[in-house]
Amino acid sequence: ALERLRTKIQYQPIGFNLLKTEFAFSDLESLYQSILGRDIDRRNFRKKIMSYNLLIETKNLRKEGSGRPARLFQFNQEKYQSLEKQGFYFEI
C-alpha cells in the first residue's frame, strides 16, 4: 500500500486529501517527505506546487508554536478537475 501511495502521490494531488481543509505549506512538505521517505528540496517543491495555482491562500494563520504564524492554504479541487480535463498533468 505504501509503494502504491508513493507512486501515485507523484502524479496525482492525493496528498491534499490527507490534510485538513486548511493547512500550512510546511504540513504539505512534511506529508510529501513522509510518504516519499526522503528529503525534498523545500524551495523547489514550493515553487513547483505554487506554479500550478491550485492553492487558495486563506486569510487565516496558524499561531501554534513559536515563531512567525504560518499562512493557511486550501486545495482548489474544482480548478484541478477543470485543468485535468484539459490534459493537465500533476507532477512532483
pLDDT tens for each residue of the chain, 92 residues long: 999 999 999 899 999 999 999 999 999 999 999 999 999 999 999 999 999 999 999 999 998 777 889 999 999 999 999 999 999 989 88
Question: E strand or H helix at 62, and its extent?
Answer: strand 55-62
The residues pairing with 75 across neighbouring beta strands, listed in sequence order, are 55
Domains of the chain: 2-79 (1.10.10.10)
Residue appearing with cell numbers 496525482: 12
Give 27's contacts (C-beta < 8 A, 6+ positions apart).
Answer: 19, 20
**Global model pTM greater than 0.75:** yes
Q: Is 74 helix (H, G, I), strand (E, B) or coil?
A: strand
- Looking at residue 21, its pLDDT comes to 96
- Looking at residue 92, its pLDDT comes to 85
Distance CA 71, CA 92 (A): 22
Give 10's contacts (C-beta < 8 A, 6+ positions apart).
Answer: 36, 91, 92
